[in-house]
Structure 1
């Protein structure tokens, strides 16, 4: 998808903007377990995918057919996630269908008439105890004090206007502020304390750059939602697009056989991705590319399939390093050989970690020391 600046695309907007966007989804992820969730204005679907790791079901909706097509092509194997085209002012769903609606950095992109209609539609499709979570820039900070006018924003909100708008349909509105700062953290080594003191310079704005509202008509519905948090980040989003190519001894791998899937690594950097196969392919090998355009450490620990696996070979790794093979190129690849003519699925499990600049520097230093030692011996 071409980057225009209208919607956030991971790896295209810069690390700071990415941190702002991802923090919102990370903050709510543990609160939406076992919920049916609607991601309104889902854009490129990264947030829908992140929520699908916790929610029972997630539907992403966007007015852009290009966005919906892109999402369906990139998140094909997540069974509890789907994307459809639709408009905020006429949500194509039954009454009381969702436990939670998420709409992050979208409402300012439409005019006041659509804003009003969306709020009514959100109340309609939410269950009586449902929750609406909405974020939008604080016009006072984002626009007025910065002097920057986003050309894609049609109708922004001041804080009081935002509260009044939400109160039209929801009795209970709880507000959070979000801003990105240079932060130094001191924490308990055993991580026993859940709360920390906020120490800030007097010149920092009390209001945040962004406003996040949690809304409902039942006070008890808000109990699970506490978004107060600090998001520590030092690299890009931990969701990457992996690819699988099929082939045989007579034919090289081609784009025609390519399947894409989102690869999301857990806290311990383990991953599991599942590819659906047609069951009647002429195939005795696959090429698995865990990521593109990144230096990484990756290893395949296990493959589950109704075909037969004979061998797994890293095709262009530099060496085995720590917990996996180190790929110091922009296109890491594994080759999986076997018999897959009638196979219907291929699940790949393993270890995956994108190397940070610090880790790359440490590795290069280690290699340099080894070269010096070898020269002197």
Structure 2
């Protein structure tokens, strides 16, 4: 964590921008993905938490309203990001919005669904406050990979959804839904330095390299959904990539590998020393003169 005077305590319930590496990439990527779709729009960030995402979107949107049920989070967000004129924060329940019908162009709500039971009411409220051609961007973890396969239980999650359940929930309120998979990956990347070329080549290999198939053959950890009552915007990408220039995750990984290699070498040295000491203290059989004196 980065020590700052205006940080919100990280309890595990809501992300703060002082978090690092994997969790940082996952959360910031969602808002970065939303930015081009929010340009010049009036945006609601429902369950905005600490406020970093609302602030990020406000760099391109005409207006952003961040709403969170936590008074402490809202007070913090106002203090930390309140200087931006097109950004405001309000305390409120995302599943019981008090805004007028059709007053927002875009609603974003990331990692909210799994925190409450009233999921249908939440999505219905988003549909109500959106314009007829408005866009909802919403995310949620995949119950199978996030919890069941990993054997993990997040104490702050009330109800996680399988892929089919998420699609069924969103489809009740939005005829047009596109689901994106999200997962932090370790990959080799190639990109054209002169900007030329066409399309993207995506391949996934088996561990031994015996098979290589097209596309991302990974089980998603999270889903990000784009939803609308009208056909989805043509500007929505097929894939979206995000990273930090410092490559914090990769740097940390390399550092851990180096530490483990050093530890392994030191363990080997100690084991060799123990073996040497054991060999030097093995009792030798008595000489023939000592055996004769013992008679």
- Interval containing the TM-score (normalised by the shorter chain): 0.7 to 0.9
2:218 to 206, 209, 228: 206
Q: What runs of 5+ residues in structure 2 fail to find an aligned partner?
A: 1-7, 208-215, 253-295
Does 1:125 find its partner at 2:129? Answer: yes
Q: Is the 8 A contact 1:97 1:126 kept in 2?
A: yes
- Residues 1:92 and 2:108 aligned together: no
Match of 1:6 among 4, 13, 21: 13
Q: Report the alpha carbon displacement of residue 27 of structure 1 after superposing the two structures with TM.
A: 1.5
Change (3 A) 1:4 1:205: farther
Q: TM-score, normalised by structure 2?
A: 0.75
Task: Note the C-alpha offset of 1:202.
Answer: 3.3
Shift of 1:189: 1.1
Q: How many residues align?
A: 235
From 48, 73, 92, the counterpart of 2:54: 48
1:190 aligns to 2:194 (yes or no)? yes
* Contact 1:11/1:236, CA 8 A, preserved across alignment: no
Which of the numbers 225, 243, 263 marks the counterpart of 1:232?
Answer: 243
Name the structure 2 match of 1:148. 152
Pairs within 5 Å for 1:1-377: 1-12=8-19, 14-111=20-117, 114-193=118-197, 195-202=199-206, 206-219=218-231, 221-226=232-237, 228-235=239-246
Residues 251-291 of structure 1 deviation map (CA, whole Å, 9 limit, x = unaligned): xxxxxxxxxxxxxxxxxxxxxxxxxxxxxxxxxxxxxxxxx
User: Could you tell me how far apart the structure 2 residues matched to 1:195 and 1:233 are?
Assistant: 23
Quote the offset at 1:201 in angstroms. Answer: 2.5
**Equivalent-residue separation in structure 1 for 2:156 and 2:238 (angstroms):** 27
CA–CA distance in structure 2, aligned partners of residues 227 and 49 of structure 1: 26
Structure 1 residue matching 2:239: 3-state secondary structure: coil
Q: CA deviation at 1:192?
A: 2.6
SS of the residue corresponding to residue 30 of structure 1 reads helix
Q: Cα distance, 1:225 vs. partner? A: 2.3
Higher fraction of strand: 1
What root-mean-square deviation, in Å, do the aligned CA atoms of Structure 1 and Structure 2 show?
Answer: 2.0
**Higher relative contact order (CA closer than 8 Å, sequence separation 6+):** 2
Query: Secondary structure of 1:131's partner?
Result: strand
Which has the greater radius of gyration?
2
Displacement of 1:227 in angstroms is: 6.0
Distance 1:236 1:91 in 2: 39
Residues 43 and 107 in structure 2, CA contact (< 8 A), matched pair in contact too:
yes
Residue deviations 1:301-347 (CA, integer Å, cap 9, x gap): xxxxxxxxxxxxxxxxxxxxxxxxxxxxxxxxxxxxxxxxxxxxxxx
Partners of 2:223 and 2:170 in 1: CA distance? 12
Q: SS at 1:105's partner residue?
A: coil
TM-score normalised per structure 1: 0.59
Distance 1:18 1:43 in 2: 14
Greater CA deviation, 1-10 or 195-204? 195-204
1:236 Cα offset (Å): 8.8
Please state how far the C-alpha of 1:194 moved relative to its aligned partner: 6.1
Shift of residue 193 of structure 1? 3.7
- Residues 168-207 of structure 1 deviation map (CA, whole Å, 9 limit, x = unaligned): 1111111110110112211111123463211223368533
Q: 2:263 maps to what in 1?
A: none
Unpaired runs of at least 5, structure 1: 238-355, 358-377
Structure 1 residues 50 and 227, CA, compared in 2 at 3 Å: closer, same or farther? farther
Other structure's SS at 1:132 match? strand
Sort the Cα spacing of 1:195 and 1:229 in 2 relative to 1 into closer, same or farther, 3 A. farther
